[in-house]
Amino acid sequence: MKITVIGCGRWGSFIAWYLDKAGHSVSLYGREGSPHMKQFRESRTNGIVTLPNSIRLISAMEEAVKTELIVVSVGAQSFREVAADIAAQGYRGDLVLCMKGIEQGSGKRLSEIALEYLPKSGVAVWLGPGHVQEFVAGIPNCMVIDGTSEELKERLVTQFSSSLIRFYYGRDLIGNEVGAAAKNVIGIAAGILDGMGLTNLKGALMARGTREVARLIVAMGGIEHSAYGLCHLGDYQATVFSEFSHNRAFGEAFARGEKFGKLAEGYYTVEALMELSKKYGVDMPICRAVHKVLYDGANPRDELTALFMRSLKKEF
């Protein structure tokens, strides 16, 4: 396939590397002036991923859309602008979204935003566990592809699968998108526990976190058991425990009063989840506690201690 990957950060550059390795013709797009693209142009590496010469580096959107498939990996909160730019170029092909988040303000899933601007395109999401550092070291994992049509999912699973990543067919676009976004908030909560020396409470966090996310998925029209699949519970090891998890590391740094200079999508997602919690009438105590800590200046120890010391009977 002829594929353009939009977004040359850690995950986007890995996707370009992976799809090239799988035999596709790949171009990697980064905006003009992007420090990530500048680094790749100078050395072909960002210190984690080294791009072969077969991957074209481009910075013109009009060139990026001359392809049969666009894979997008940008910050979730900036995706609307990217979708508008793609649509402005007259693109009518399919789109694969490789990021996890919900838009602040609107509470919209990323596939909904894509269809606003590209209503005639097929839209798929590529979700699930795994870190770039592990993949480039040859450590395999399983991920999921869901989308707006069975034909699109089948084509992508067939074309993208390899010995490094085994893809499963998603059956619940709502549940998979919401679950994938929400697991980043659980990751921040896990990091806060780490920062307070309460790592032992991660078991309760995982059990209760999955339940409250499952309730939201059902209220939004999705399938409850999606929260227990690769998009959410299946991604906990990579998010709740891994040293490579930005969301966990952000939560730990926050609890310790330290600065964290990398993107942690869960920070923005928890705001959107509070909007959805109110809209659908779903109580989300863990997400609410994280939101109070991050946005209202609540004491992390007070919030999480109160949260986990209350009876679990109401949650199950």
In this structure, how many other beta carbons lie within 10 angstroms of the beta carbon of residue 207? Answer: 13
Please state, in angstroms and rounded to a whole number, the distance separating the CA atoms of residues 101 and 73. 11
Q: In this structure, are residues 54 and 20 in contact, taking their beta carbons and an 8 Å threshold?
A: yes
Q: Is 183 a catalytic residue?
A: yes
Distance, CA of 98 to CA of 76 (rounded, Å)? 10
Give the closest residue to 100 by CA, choosing from 277, 254, 263, 279: 263
Beta bridge partners of 97: 72, 125
Whole-number Cα distances in Å, 20 to 55, 162, 194, 206, 279: 7, 12, 37, 36, 42
Neighbours of 247 (CB within 10 A): 28
Distance between CA atoms of residues 286 and 192, nearest Å: 12
**Active-site residue among 153, 183, 202, 292?**
183
Catalytic machinery residues: 183
